[in-house]
Amino acid sequence: MTWGESENIVWKTPLPGAGASSPIVFGDRIYLTCYTGFFVPGESGGSRDNLKRHLLAMNRKDGKLAWNTPVAAKLPEEERIRDHGFAANTPAADAERVYVFFGKTGVFAFDHKGKEVWQADVGTKTHEWGTSASPVLYKNLVFINASVESDSLYALDRKTGKEKWRAKGIRESWNTPVLVTAKSGRKELVVATQGTVLAFDPDSGEQFWSCKTDIGWYMVPSVVASDGIVYCLGGRSGTASLAVRAGGSGDVTETHRLWTSPKGSNVTSPVFLNGHLYWMNDSRGVAYCAKADSGEVLYEKRLERADQVYASALLADGRVYYVARDGRTFVLAAMPGFEQLAVNNLRDGGVFNSSPAVDGNRLLIRSDKFLYCVGK
């Protein structure tokens, strides 16, 4: 399917604020975060005193705003956040609550009418690159990677927000933790930090294993996993990707690290399908496909005018979607041979930093100005 500003757009909703978080779908609602009052692209003035984050609820059918709950920032905040602003953390939801992470302002749970249920503090530090890790739900817990705020990984009680466990030493880590099942069936909570991939017991916070990455940079992409193997991208030079077998104990670098490669991405997360990894380099506009068992690159293709890509790859219906910051979406066939199927253009929509989401047979694509529902 192709789309543009006047083609195959089911609805287009102006947003009350900017942001880089992704939309989520739950029930008949779409939830999304944004920010207002300070350092908003295209708006002059503003003050940190007026900075607010918002949780938005929109109707899936027509995109109309159902409610908008603002949260005032806990000050002081950064004077600016480079590139993506003050709302880059995607919400999570269950049948009772919607969970959002607003950096040093805290973690919040709201009911499905927008009323605050609880708030939890997870640290007081800020960073010029902001914060971007999203809440992860598991059993009665919500996991928060508060690397920026306190060098910590938290498990909070879903009902109350009270701390259940905390792991320290989570440094230079902007990625969302991922639940992985080892070959033995053991559940592991995996997060990438500078120089090391770490795995924890999601129930207790005990560290299961660590694996050196040989990546010397901060870590932004989230890992992906399949059949007990964890795949990790990161960095701008040198080693930029690796695979490690889950299920180990202690330092597993020598025993469980399967391969490393100089091909990767500094921002975007990959997807996995049928023994292959697909991803887009964030700054070079290069699309990759690699064998998951060896890291061997099967194609490395520069896409015309895909200058910057911050959104992670989306796999849907046999296709891989890459959304560039200028609003172009490159659609490739999800197969080891390179085939570009379409380039779709929403360039009048502002800056696109958010990863797209699926809503049935439709796509949700968010810019700093609009939320688009793409479909026939």
Tens digits of residue pLDDT in 131-152: 999 999 999 999 999 999 999 9
Whether the pLDDT of residue 83 is over 90: the answer is no
pLDDT band at 182 (very low <50, low <70, confident <90, very high): very high
What pLDDT is recorded for position 32? 98
Residue type, 120: A
- What is the rounded distance in angstroms from the CA atom of residue 40 to the CA atom of residue 289? 36
118 neighbors 126 (Cβ within 8 angstroms): no
Residue 349 reports pLDDT greater than 90: no
Q: If pLDDT is split at 50, 70 and 90, which confidence band does 118 have?
A: very high
Q: Which residue pairs, CB below 8 angstroms and at least 24 apart, start in 125-129?
A: 125/149, 125/150, 126/76, 126/77, 126/78, 127/78, 128/78, 128/80, 128/81, 128/82, 129/81, 129/82, 129/83, 129/174
pLDDT class of 82 with cuts at 50, 70, 90: confident
Domain-located, residue 290: no
pLDDT band at 348 (very low <50, low <70, confident <90, very high): confident
What does the pLDDT read at residue 41? 86
Whether residue 252 lies inside any domain: the answer is: no
pLDDT on residue 91: 98
For residue 306, the model assigns a pLDDT of: 83
* pLDDT for residue 45 is more than 80: no
Q: Measure Cα distances from 222 to 47, 165, 311, 341 in Å.
A: 32, 22, 12, 26
pLDDT at 34 over 90: yes
Count: domains in the chain: 1
Give a yes or no: residue 101 inside a domain: yes
Answer yes or no: is pLDDT of 81 > 80: yes
* pLDDT recorded at residue 329: 96
| Average pLDDT in the chain | 96
161 within domain boundaries: yes
Question: Is 59 within a domain?
Answer: yes
52-68 pLDDT, tens digit per residue, is 999 999 999 999 999 99
Using the predicted structure, report yes or no on whether residue 84 has a pLDDT greater than 90: no
pLDDT of amino acid 1: 77
Query: Is residue 369 assigned to a domain?
Result: no
pLDDT tens digit sequence for 225-260: 999 999 999 999 999 999 999 999 999 999 999 999
pLDDT score recorded for residue 208? 98
Answer whether residue 325 is part of any domain: no
Strands 297-302 and 24-26, sheet pairing: unpaired
pLDDT at position 360: 95
pLDDT, residue 44, reads 80
- The CATH code of the domain that includes 37 is 2.40.128.630
What's the CA gap between 125 and 104, in Å, rounded? 6
Look up the domain containing 100 and give its range.
Answer: 1-172
pLDDT for the residue numbered 78 = 94
Average pLDDT estimate for 198-212:
98
In a domain, 216, yes or no: no
The closest of 111, 115, 179 to 142, measured between CA atoms, is 179
Is 80 exceeded by the pLDDT of residue 51? yes
Residue 80's pLDDT is what? 86
Share of the chain above pLDDT 70, in %: 100
